Chain A
Amino acid sequence: MIEISHVNKWYSPTFQVLTDCTTSVTKGEVVVVCGPSGSGKSTLIKCVNALEPFQSGDISVDGTKVNDPKTNLPKLRSRVGMVFQHFELFPHLKIIDNLCLAQQKVLGRSHDKAETKGMQLLERVGLKEHAQKFPAQLSGGQQQRVAIARALAMDPIVMLFDEPTSALDPEMVSEVLDVMVDLAREGMTMMVVTHEMGFARKVANRVIFMDRGEIVEDAPKDDFFGKPRSDRAQKFLSKILSH
């Protein structure tokens, strides 16, 4: 579903943020990406839907090459859901309109159809009664669930998550993770940057460990938690698991 091969990216001629990153996510797979802050996780996941350009290597999603100038990026992105650390709901639009906007403008759905779909998804994330509110009236956990529903409204073939729970108060983390676990169990293809190792243990197929722009470890979940091969991954794991 996602093929990442030998990707290199520089933010400036002297600062290489990604070094020879190669991995893949197959259909129905859940891959968790972890690593210290600043290691390039966000950058890598943003390269997948071309929110960030990269200088060399290839990424393809469902057979479409992301870095091909001929690719219709808006169309590709409409099939790749993305959830951000800071939710990024549109504050000037009601919750239901946050869900309808792209359905109507990008997919060309009628307002009624978009609204029906939006309400279904709000119900699914348990926020149907908040449809007419504005984002600022919701808690962080609720906003992030809306953001997930907004991405799902586009019927994505794959979902990307960039630290979806790290901006949340601790008591709100589980309501968001529950939605993500359900999604994973329904067979959604997911690439998730997170430090929630409980989530990884529950639903991940593979875990990728990044450090200083490199993919240091890329292993099936049980191998990763059983015996990380690299020192750096071991250190990282002992640090976050001791919390």
Chain B
Amino acid sequence: MLSNFDFDVIRRALPYLFYEGMTFTLTLTALAALGGLIFGTALALMRLSGYKLLGRIAGLYVDFMRSLPLVLVIFWFYFLVPYIGQWVTGASRPISVGAFASSLITFIMFEAAYFSEIMRAGIQSISRGQPAAASALGLTYAQSMRYVVLPQAFRNMLPVLITQTIVLFQDTSLVYVLSITDFLGAASKVAQRDGRLVEMYLFAAVVYFTISCIASFGVRRLQARIAIIR
């Protein structure tokens, strides 16, 4: 099998794979992680707010998102959003939402459920004396969260947040169900076109593996550094 392994097909496809595919994958990962972190922090604050109704809504949302396979959410969201958009804006025909926008929103919504649990644990890890000291200085609840509690929660949780982002990086490959040209999509297109399935899928696996490994290694170094500062 390896005797007719064609390395050249990979070499020729590199610009396409990386400039188009990997750029898309990394952009989607970064934006989804950022959006998921912001939305997830909002969900965590809702759950910890002490307002029962807000907490219930956020809790239901988190449980709902975590009980669905991601690939189904991506798929359904892509086909439903145009109709939801039509309903919301009252337009006469379904709104066209690009595949990128649709998948980005899906990932943000999905990741928010996971990030919110991480941030909730992070906020709860801060001793109650910290917000008390902030209040005693005259900071409002929002200021105490913004300047005292969340920065510490974020720092404490940084390794876990990055680990979750590595999972997200791999999960973005699921957008293949929308025939999007992310890194895996690009590799698969070349594979079909040139009839080189083994080479391309093997190469894709190596790339995902390498990037994830380097990132995990970085997390471990980071953990060690944080441990010293504390």
Q: Check A82 against B152 for contact (C-beta < 8 Å).
A: no
Q: How many Cβ-Cβ contacts under 8 Å join chain A to chain B?
A: 67
* B229 CB contacts on chain A under 8 angstroms: 134, 136
The answer, yes or no, to whether A102 is at the interface (CB within 8 Å) is yes
In the assembly, what is the distance between CA of A12 and CA of B73, in Å? 45
Considering the chains assembled together, what is the distance between the CA atoms of A107 and B137 in angstroms?
10
**B: which residues have CB within 8 A of A?**
127, 129-130, 132-140, 143, 147-148, 151-152, 155, 229-230
- Chain A residues with Cβ below 8 Å from B137 are 77-78, 101-102, 106, 150-151, 154
* 11 A-B residue pairs with CB within 8 Å: A51-B132, A73-B135, A75-B138, A77-B135, A79-B138, A84-B129, A90-B130, A90-B152, A92-B151, A101-B137, A101-B148
CA distance A81 to B133 in the complex (A): 10
Which residues of A lie under 8 Å from residue B130 when comparing CB positions? Answer: 88, 90
A64-85, CB < 8 A from B: 73-75, 77-82, 84
What residues of chain A lie closer than 8 Å to B135, measured between beta carbons?
51, 73-74, 77
A136 and B129: CB pair below 8 A? no
Identify the closest chain B residue to A86 (Cβ): B129
Contact of B129 among A75, A88, A92, A151 (CB under 8 A): A88
Contact, CB under 8 Å: B133 / A84: yes
Cβ-closest 10 pairs across A and B = A78-B138, A88-B133, A102-B137, A106-B138, A82-B136, A88-B129, A77-B138, A74-B138, A74-B140, A92-B151
**Looking at the complex, which one of A51, A88, A105, A136 makes contact with B139 (CB distance below 8 Å)?**
A105
Residue numbers of A with Cβ under 8 A of B are 46, 49, 51, 73-75, 77-82, 84, 86, 88-92, 101-102, 105-107, 134, 136, 150-151, 154
Which residues on B sit within 8 Å (CB–CB) of A46? Answer: 132
Cα separation A106 to B138 with both chains bound (whole Å): 6
CB distance from A220 to the nearest CB of B (A): 29
Tell me the complex Cα distance, A73–B139, Å.
9
* Chain A hits for B147, CB < 8 A: 101, 105
List A contacts of B134 (CB < 8 A).
Answer: 90, 102
| Contact residues in B for A91 (Cβ distance below 8 Å) | 152, 230
Apart from the given pairs A84-B133, A90-B152, A101-B147, 20 other A-B contacts in the complex at a CB distance below 8 Å:
A46-B132, A74-B138, A74-B140, A77-B137, A82-B133, A84-B132, A88-B132, A89-B133, A90-B134, A92-B152, A92-B155, A102-B134, A105-B139, A105-B143, A105-B147, A106-B143, A107-B138, A134-B229, A136-B229, A150-B137
With contacts A90-B130, A136-B230 taken as known, whether A77 is within 8 angstroms of B136 at the C-beta atoms is: yes
| Contact status of A49 and B136, CB under 8 A, knowing A88-B130, A90-B130, A105-B147 | yes
Smallest Cβ-Cβ distance to A81: which chain B residue: B136
Residues on A with C-beta less than 8 A from B136 are 49, 51, 77, 80-82, 84, 151
Report chain B residues within 8 Å CB of A79. 138
Nearest A residue to B154, CB-CB:
A92
CB of A106 within 8 A of CB of B129, answer no
Docked pose: A49 CA to B127 CA in angstroms: 19
Docked complex Cα distance between A102 and B148 (Å): 11
Within 8 Å CB of A86, what residues of B? 127, 129
In angstroms, how far is the closest chain B Cβ from the Cβ of A122?
Answer: 16
Residues of B within 8 A of A134 (CB): 229
Q: Which residues of B contact A92 (CB under 8 A)?
A: 151-152, 155
Q: Min CB distance, B153 to chain A, in Å?
A: 10
- The answer to whether B155 touches A102 (Cβ under 8 A) is no
Q: Which residue of A lies closest to B155 (CB)?
A: A92
Please determine whether B132 and A74 come into contact, CB atoms closer than 8 angstroms: no
Shortest Cβ gap from B135 to chain A (Å): 6
The reply to whether B148 and A90 form a contact with Cβ atoms under 8 Å apart is: yes
Q: How far is the CB of B219 from chain A (nearest CB, A)?
A: 20
User: Could you say which residues of chain A place their CB within 8 Å of the CB of B155?
Assistant: 92
Nearest Cβ on chain B to A215's Cβ, whole angstroms: 23
CB proximity of B229 to chain A, nearest CB, Å: 7
C-alpha spacing A99/B196, complex, angstroms:
64
